[in-house]
Amino acid sequence: MDQEMVVMEIICNAGEARSLCYEALRLARNNDFDQAQEKLAQGKECLNKAHLTQTQLIEADQGEGKVPMTLVMVHAQDHLMTTILAHEMATEMVALHQQLAA
């Protein structure tokens, strides 16, 4: 397992997911709820890819420190966790926009 590639995969997928979340919010502000939901679904797919990669790292480590912890690894984990939160909040905000528009 090339750790640098794994870390970049987490960062790239989390970054794409975050961009899709913000695109969903922009669409919801313009009352385009179908497209907003589509962007959220695409974001969730990217998050799932990043989470799978993270899970593979955890499995490889086996709780024994086999995977070296570097600053870029911490950065990748930070990207993933903040994007998970962004997706949850964006999902709620799109629903709120939709409710207010009804």
Domains annotated on the chain, with CATH: 3-101 (1.20.58.80)
Per-residue pLDDT of 39-94, as tens digits, reads 999 999 999 999 999 999 888 888 888 888 899 999 999 999 999 999 999 999 99
Handedness of CA 19, 96, 36, 43 (dihedral sign): positive
How does DSSP classify residue 67? Answer: S
User: Which is more confidently placed, 11 or 1?
Assistant: 11
Cα 98 to chain centroid distance, Å, stands at: 22
Instruction: Name the active-site residue from 51, 75, 79, 97.
Output: 75
**Global pTM value:** 0.90
Query: Could you tell me the pLDDT band of residue 1, with boundaries at 50, 70 and 90?
Result: low
Per the annotation, the verdict on 75 as an active-site residue is: yes
Residue 18 above 90 pLDDT?
Answer: yes
